[in-house]
Structure 1
């Protein structure tokens, strides 16, 4: 079971284009986290480039408690020359929760099986550097109640210590939800005691996936 991985930053389609022997290859990469999102993304590429010869695709996404889902399509190219090389390139990058579509406008010169594998694989490999990544990690959560007058300062101090502040609810007090790596509860408790002069304590709040900037 995965507990941490990198994925594309949400809400963007990353693009790359190149040409080989007069065939134009346009690569689209985005975040997807289920089959429906992946199918919608492929359908969008078909709508945007309806006159292209091929819309080859590959995607992989995490499923908690089981193996990742992997799919690919050659979309009319010879079997094994497009979708699988694209999927292999995507997996080799370390990205998860990602889909790629390579749109091909045929230039009139056949590339052959080896040429197609090279073209589709490189269409993904060369596009990957433009993808902005974030890291998704499974973390333990705690909540802590802070007085409204001190909450802003304490939050700033916690963030400066590298603690992930993932939520806040305002009621009688400001209730902050903090995330920490498994096994780091004592360290968080010590940091919390330091910035609150021992006036606040953390309560267990389960665990959740938390996104942070990729290193």
Structure 2
């Protein structure tokens, strides 16, 4: 998804990830492809419980990029996802409120068009017990 504000372009990419290594796998090629961009801000949330996460501002003012991206991930309620927003500076400073809005909007647009895959958590458990205890085991 792409969002423009006062000449700056914010291009958002959403990727499914399973591990921290996947973050680098997607981030490095984006930096090469968009080598003229000024910032590659991102956020991710991993795991069933969502306790593994990170928000990176990549040189933008603290809390103006990574946190809004992570906030959008959380508002959609997804996990195992990485969102990277590439910013091309347009010559006009947006200020912190403007940056927050831009990163938030670009992320919201990317997640709105992304295909969300819902997966059931399943695990086969084998329980061995003697016949008299079968009712208690079930």
For normalisation by structure 1, the TM-score amounts to: 0.56
Residue 27 of structure 2 is matched in structure 1 by: 42
1:83 aligns with 2:66: yes
Residue 121 of structure 1 is matched in structure 2 by: 104
Query: Which of 1 and 2 has higher RCO (CA within 8 Å, sep 6+)?
Result: 2
Q: CA deviation at 1:141?
A: 4.6
Q: How many residues align?
A: 127
Cα distance in 2, alignment partners of residues 32 and 89 from structure 1: 17
Residue from 96, 101, 119 that aligns with 1:136: 119
Cα distance in 1, alignment partners of residues 122 and 17 from structure 2: 21
Cα RMSD (Å):
1.8
For normalisation by structure 2, the TM-score amounts to: 0.85
Contact 2:37 2:86 in 1 (8 A): yes
> Structure 1: any 5+ residue segments left out of the alignment?
1-15, 143-202, 205-215
Cα distance in 1, alignment partners of residues 122 and 57 from structure 2: 38
Cα distance in 2, alignment partners of residues 60 and 79 from structure 1: 19
Cα distance in 1, alignment partners of residues 32 and 76 from structure 2: 28
Residue from 1, 4, 12 that aligns with 1:27: 12
Specify which structure has the higher proportion of strand.
1
Q: CA deviation at 1:36?
A: 0.5
Specify which structure has the higher proportion of helix.
2
Residue from 24, 32, 36 that aligns with 1:51: 36
> Structure 2: any 5+ residue segments left out of the alignment?
128-138
Q: CA deviation at 1:140?
A: 4.8
